């Protein structure tokens, strides 16, 4: 008999005014009892609407049925048939717009907490003593993966399991891409990311850090001189956008990328870190996505009073619902319908305040969201000594500019077909490098798809 | 599963057994065998007639040294605050060009700092850096010795100096910036360009690379603030004199303190001589990701790491660059003092 409670099991979290002063993980995860109880809320629908909402089509009812029975190892096997990074996705997927939005239990009450269950299963698996992985027999084909973010890790993992000789090239000194430099420790502990990468290494994947493809070595060289038959480009969307308003280059203005990289990759939040960070006493974050929430919550933890300035309203915030909720609980102040037009300076070149135009919503624009328009003459000044621009990122042009015959969109995205094949034979691409900034799960799905296509291509060769 | 030497698939063949900059098949796939290619694309094992354990060990240490360790091969003090280091970095040396830079970390908790490439040798796979001790990281770096290894060393980054179509160039360097100006002068000289080098230092003890510059230039002017070396005065005085005397330059390339470059550019603007300045701002990744190195050039925001580090000197907003350079001054001073104290205690 299913658990018919309309409410889902709450996941234990650190108290808001405790956690907004530390960088430890906010959500603590279900206990076994909570997970089993929650799993019993699943009706095991035959047509699996939840699975249709999952970008990588995890057999959700099947894994949840195993959790309900207490067979966590079996549940993990089912998830990993479709997903390469369950511990990551269970934490960072926007489940409320994906699997959980399709859950039948959501019609009259709360949907089954699929994300929390995925996280539980992955964490349970990671806590078990490690079995030596089975190293697949090598098939003698070589594949290169550029970038060690979600798409690259997924692609490398699938290829390695099929016996390919895979090398991942990473520009930074640590693998993981946005999982390492972007998403903060309190949302995705770095130990989890390193565990995933360790798993790939155990499968025989070679990870070359400190290698900037396009500078240290080019794709053409990898293929012609180094014998890689296929290359997967998963270089992400790492180039920060700015608003191009006056004052953006003042001291105290950061891109969210820089702010988060200093904190996550370089550990600037730790006492005695060699890399400095200045969140100031009053920080204003411009933007409404997950990255903006991450930057805001980091600034809060560094002791600043934090404002998020967003030009639309709360309903249009692109961030995950849980992140917005957590940000509010932690004391982040939201200023909606507010759009910066200028950053004003102190006499010595630091940020003093941010001058904003007030907006109102009108007709929906091309993205389907109501378009914000300026209210004539309505401006406000917000005092701040730190401004963090979090208005999106675009793909890095480095690879395009150094690879012959690789076509890209006007805005920089690499052009690839459904399987990830680009305009260049043997070269595949996926994730944010193709789509522009999107989610971890979509990037992971693209990496897996490309791996399948690369496998087919190399087998035919 | 353990591989032995005998398992090497390519043991008895002369075919490509890996790639020139990364480990061989077995090593790459098992993580066990450390027999690795050398620079001439041969497995080190192939160079040995018999495979004893001793030789295997030797291979291992050789291989590590060649491919994964950023070992300090040479360390030389150029003056009391400026040090030269030659680093083992074959991957970087393969591609390096004058004007480009690298990013290094001294240790696992270290910060990433950009340093311009002062020289490179593709044959031996080494890259030379010259740095001034200005903060905690350069202080730490200066305490490392030959045989020590840097944690990370990545590059070459940024665009190389453009040399096409140049016939006559004035290279204007100041202080430690001369270390970066020198390879540019050297390359231009090798290309047959007429090079006039004007270098300036505060005082005699700080002069570096004097002979090297002389070898790479048809005219060499040494300036010092106090007149203790060469002529007394600023590099701009010397440059003005040369231009006034009728020297016509296709381009002036200036590398040094921001304030010096600002005044060089101001001068050459008056004379309408195209001028390139090399910027070295604060940065983290060096690949265009953080935007920390941004500067305003001709009213547009540019990233020094990918759009530069060299820009049209007449368009750079130097005042803004100077303000941004001072962003972490209090933090840096504190970190520097702490590092100094730490090394004092060790002594």
Over the stretch B208-218, which tens digit does the pLDDT of each residue have? Answer: 999 999 999 99
Residue B33 has pLDDT above 70, yes or no: no
Burial class (CB in 10 A: 0-12, 13-18, 19+), A275: buried
What CA–CA distance (Å, rounded) separates B96 from B282?
Answer: 21
Q: What percent of chain A has a predicted confidence (pLDDT) above 90?
A: 78
Is A142:B25 a contact under the CB 8 Å cutoff? Answer: no
Helices A321-329 and A290-301 pack at an angle, to 10 degrees, of 20
With cut-offs at 50, 70 and 90, classify the pLDDT of residue A172.
very high
With cut-offs at 50, 70 and 90, classify the pLDDT of residue B52.
very low
With cut-offs at 50, 70 and 90, classify the pLDDT of residue B338.
confident
ipTM: 0.87
Residue A371 has pLDDT above 90, yes or no: no
pLDDT in tens, A351-369: 999 999 999 998 887 777 7
> Chain B residue with minimal CA distance to A164?
B29
pLDDT in tens, A76-102: 999 998 888 899 999 999 999 999 999
Q: Mean pLDDT in chain B?
A: 80
Higher-confidence residue of A334 and A204: namely A334
Restricting to A residues 154-193, those with a Cβ less than 8 Å away from any Cβ of B are: 165, 167, 171-173, 181
Q: What is the pTM of this model?
A: 0.86
Residue B343 has pLDDT above 90, yes or no: no
Higher-confidence residue of A224 and B346: namely A224
> Chain A residue with minimal CA distance to B32?
A204
- Nearest Cα of chain A lies from the Cα of B51 at a distance, in angstroms, of 25
Residue B10 has pLDDT above 50, yes or no: no
- Across the interface, which of A165, A261, A348 has its CB nearest the CB of B285? A261
What CA–CA distance (Å, rounded) separates B324 from A75?
Answer: 53
* A202-206, B179-183, B325-329: segment of lowest average pLDDT: B325-329
Residues from chain B that touch A171, judged by Cβ atoms under 8 A, are 154, 285, 287
Neighbouring residues of B203: CB distance < 8 A, sequence distance ≥ 6? B224, B225, B226, B228, B229
The predicted model gives B266-272 an average pLDDT of: 95
User: Does B110 contact A258 at a Cβ distance shorter than 8 Å?
Assistant: no
Interface membership of A238 toward B (CB under 8 Å): yes
- Across the interface, which of B22, B91, B136 has its CB nearest the CB of A274? B136
Which residues partner with B150 through β-bridges? B70
The pLDDT of residue B197: 95
Peptide bond into A361 cis (omega under 30): no
pLDDT in tens, A298-329: 999 999 999 999 999 999 999 988 899 999 99
Query: What φ, ψ does residue B254 adopt, rounded to 5°?
Result: -125, 135
Interface membership of A349 toward B (CB under 8 Å): yes
Is B275:B166 a contact under the CB 8 Å cutoff? Answer: no
Residue A332 has pLDDT above 80, yes or no: yes
What CA–CA distance (Å, rounded) separates A351 from A250?
Answer: 6
The pLDDT of residue B68: 59
User: Does B289 contact A238 at a Cβ distance shorter than 8 Å?
Assistant: yes
Q: What order do you get walking across the sheet with A351-364 strand by strand?
A: A338-345, A351-364, A370-383
Is B346:B139 a contact under the CB 8 Å cutoff? Answer: no
DSSP string, A303-339: T-EEEEE-SS-GGG--S-HHHHHHHHHTTPEEE-SEE
Sign of the four-CA dihedral A91, A92, A93, A95: positive
Higher-confidence residue of B182 and A1: namely B182
- Across the interface, which of A135, A167, A261 has its CB nearest the CB of B22? A167
- Across the interface, which of B157, B294, B335 has its CB nearest the CB of A215? B157
Instruction: Pick the closest to residue A249 from B204, B124, B293 (CA basis).
Output: B293
> Chain A residue with minimal CA distance to B10?
A140
Residue B46 has pLDDT above 60, yes or no: no
Residues from chain A that touch B337, judged by Cβ atoms under 8 A, are none
The predicted model gives A27-48 an average pLDDT of: 95
Residues from chain B that touch A208, judged by Cβ atoms under 8 A, are 22
The pLDDT of residue B332: 76
User: Does A211 contact B296 at a Cβ distance shorter than 8 Å?
Assistant: no
The predicted model gives A191-215 an average pLDDT of: 90
The pLDDT of residue B42: 42
With cut-offs at 50, 70 and 90, classify the pLDDT of residue B91.
confident
The pLDDT of residue A310: 96
Burial class (CB in 10 A: 0-12, 13-18, 19+), A181: buried
Instruction: For the beta carbon of residue A367, count every other beta carbon within 10 angstroms.
Output: 9
User: Does A275 contact B111 at a Cβ distance shorter than 8 Å?
Assistant: yes
The pLDDT of residue B136: 87
User: Does A165 contact B31 at a Cβ distance shorter than 8 Å?
Assistant: no
Burial class (CB in 10 A: 0-12, 13-18, 19+), A131: exposed
Structure tokens at A384: 């701040």
The pLDDT of residue A312: 93
The pLDDT of residue A135: 80
Interface membership of A346 toward B (CB under 8 Å): no
The pLDDT of residue B345: 63
Residue B34 has pLDDT above 60, yes or no: no
DSSP string, A105-163: GGTTSPPP-HHHHHHHHHHHHHHSPPPPPPPPPP-S-EEEEE--SHHHHHHHHHHHHTT
Residues from chain A that touch B153, judged by Cβ atoms under 8 A, are 210
Instruction: Pick the closest to residue A326 from A14, A8, A22 (CA basis).
Output: A14
User: Does B327 contact A251 at a Cβ distance shorter than 8 Å?
Assistant: yes
User: Does B22 contact A276 at a Cβ distance shorter than 8 Å?
Assistant: no
Instruction: Pick the closest to residue A30 from A41, A45, A16, A44 (CA basis).
Output: A41
The pLDDT of residue A248: 94
The predicted model gives A415-427 an average pLDDT of: 95
The predicted model gives B20-24 an average pLDDT of: 40
Structure tokens at A38: 């929650």
Q: In sequence order, which ranges of A134-234 are alpha helices (DSSP H)?
A: 150-161, 178-181, 190-202, 219-224
Residue A232 has pLDDT above 50, yes or no: yes
């Amino acid at each position: 008999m299913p658990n018919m409670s309309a409410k889902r099991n709450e996941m234990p979290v650190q108290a808001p005014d405790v956690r907004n002063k530390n960088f430890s993980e906010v959500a603590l995860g279900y206990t076994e009892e909570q997970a089993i109880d929650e799993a019993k809320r699943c009706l095991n629908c035959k047509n699996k609407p939840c699975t249709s909402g999952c970008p990588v089509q995890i057999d959700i009812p099947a894994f949840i049925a195993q959790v309900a029975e207490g067979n966590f190892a079996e549940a993990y096997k089912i998830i990993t048939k479709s997903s390469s990074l369950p511990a990551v996705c269970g934490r960072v997927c926007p489940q409320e717009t994906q699997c959980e939005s399709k859950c039948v239990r959501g019609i009259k009450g709360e949907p089954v907490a699929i994300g929390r269950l995925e996280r539980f299963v992955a964490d349970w698996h990671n806590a078990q003593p490690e079995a030596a992985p089975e190293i697949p027999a090598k098939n003698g084909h070589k594949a290169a993966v550029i970038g060690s973010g979600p798409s690259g890790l997924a692609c490398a993992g699938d290829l390695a399991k099929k016996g390919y000789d895979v090398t991942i090239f990473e520009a930074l000194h640590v693998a993981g891409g946005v999982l390492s430099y972007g998403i903060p420790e309190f949302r995705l502990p770095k130990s989890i990311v390193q565990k995933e990468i360790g798993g790939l290494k155990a499968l025989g994947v070679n990870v070359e850090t400190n290698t900037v493809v396009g500078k240290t070595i080019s794709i053409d060289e990898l293929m012609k001189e180094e014998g890689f038959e296929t290359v997967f480009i998963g270089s992400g969307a790492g180039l920060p956008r700015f608003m191009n308003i006056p004052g953006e280059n003042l001291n105290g203005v950061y891109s969210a990328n820089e702010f988060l990289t200093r904190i996550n990759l370089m550990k600037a939040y730790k006492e005695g870190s060699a890399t400095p960070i200045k969140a100031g006493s009053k920080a204003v974050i411009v933007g409404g996505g997950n990255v903006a929430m991450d930057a805001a919550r980091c600034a809060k933890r560094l002791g600043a009073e934090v404002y998020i300035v967003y030009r639309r309203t709360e309903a249009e915030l692109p961030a995950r619902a849980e992140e917005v909720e957590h940000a509010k609980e932690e004391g982040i102040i939201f200023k909606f319908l507010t759009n910066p037009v200028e950053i004003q300076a102190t006499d010595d070149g630091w940020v003093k305040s941010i001058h904003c135009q007030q907006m109102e919503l009108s007709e929906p624009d091309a993205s389907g969201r109501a378009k914000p328009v300026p209210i004539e003459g309505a401006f406000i000044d917000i005092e701040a000594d730190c401004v963090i621009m979090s208005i999106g990122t675009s793909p890095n042009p480095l690879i395009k500019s150094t690879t012959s015959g690789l076509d890209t969109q006007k805005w920089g995205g690499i052009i690839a077909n459904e399987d990830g094949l680009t305009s260049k034979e043997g070269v595949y691409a996926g994730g944010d490098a193709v789509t522009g900034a999107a989610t971890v799960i979509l990037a992971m799905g693209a990496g897996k798809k490309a791996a399948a296509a690369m496998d087919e291509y190399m087998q035919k060769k | 599963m353990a591989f032995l030497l005998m398992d090497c698939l390519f043991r008895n063949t002369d075919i490509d057994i890996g790639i020139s900059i990364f480990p061989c098949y077995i090593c790459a796939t098992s993580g066990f065998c450390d027999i690795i290619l050398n620079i001439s694309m041969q497995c080190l094992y192939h160079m040995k007639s018999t495979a004893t354990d001793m030789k295997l060990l030797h291979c291992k240490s050789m291989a590590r040294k060649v491919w994964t360790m950023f070992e300090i091969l040479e360390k030389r003090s150029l003056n009391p605050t400026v040090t030269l280091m030659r680093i083992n970095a074959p991957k970087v040396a393969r591609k390096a060009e004058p004007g480009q830079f690298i990013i290094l970390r001294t240790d696992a908790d270290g910060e990433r700092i950009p340093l311009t490439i002062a020289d490179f040798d593709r044959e031996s796979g080494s890259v030379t850096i010259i740095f001034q001790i200005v903060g905690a990281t350069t202080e730490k770096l200066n305490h490392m010795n030959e045989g020590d290894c840097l944690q990370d060393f990545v590059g070459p980054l940024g665009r190389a100096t453009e040399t096409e179509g140049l016939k006559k160039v004035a290279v204007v360097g100041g202080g430690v910036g001369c270390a970066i100006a020198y390879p540019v002068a050297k390359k231009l000289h090798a290309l047959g360009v007429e090079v006039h080098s004007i270098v300036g230092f505060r005082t005699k003890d700080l002069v570096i690379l004097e002979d090297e510059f002389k070898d790479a230039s048809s005219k060499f002017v040494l300036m010092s603030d106090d007149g203790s070396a060469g002529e007394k005065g600023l590099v701009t005085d010397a440059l003005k004199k040369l231009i006034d005397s009728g020297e016509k330059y296709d381009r002036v390339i200036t590398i040094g303190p921001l304030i010096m470059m600002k005044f060089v550019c101001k001068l050459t603007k008056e004379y309408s001589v195209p001028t390139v300045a090399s910027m070295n701002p604060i940065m983290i990744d060096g690949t265009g990701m953080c935007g920390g190195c941004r500067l305003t050039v001709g009213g547009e925001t540019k990233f020094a790491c990918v759009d530069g580090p060299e820009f049209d000197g007449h368009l750079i907003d130097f005042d803004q660059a100077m303000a941004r350079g001072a962003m972490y001054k209090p933090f840096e001073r504190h970190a520097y003092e702490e590092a100094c104290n730490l090394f004092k205690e060790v002594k």
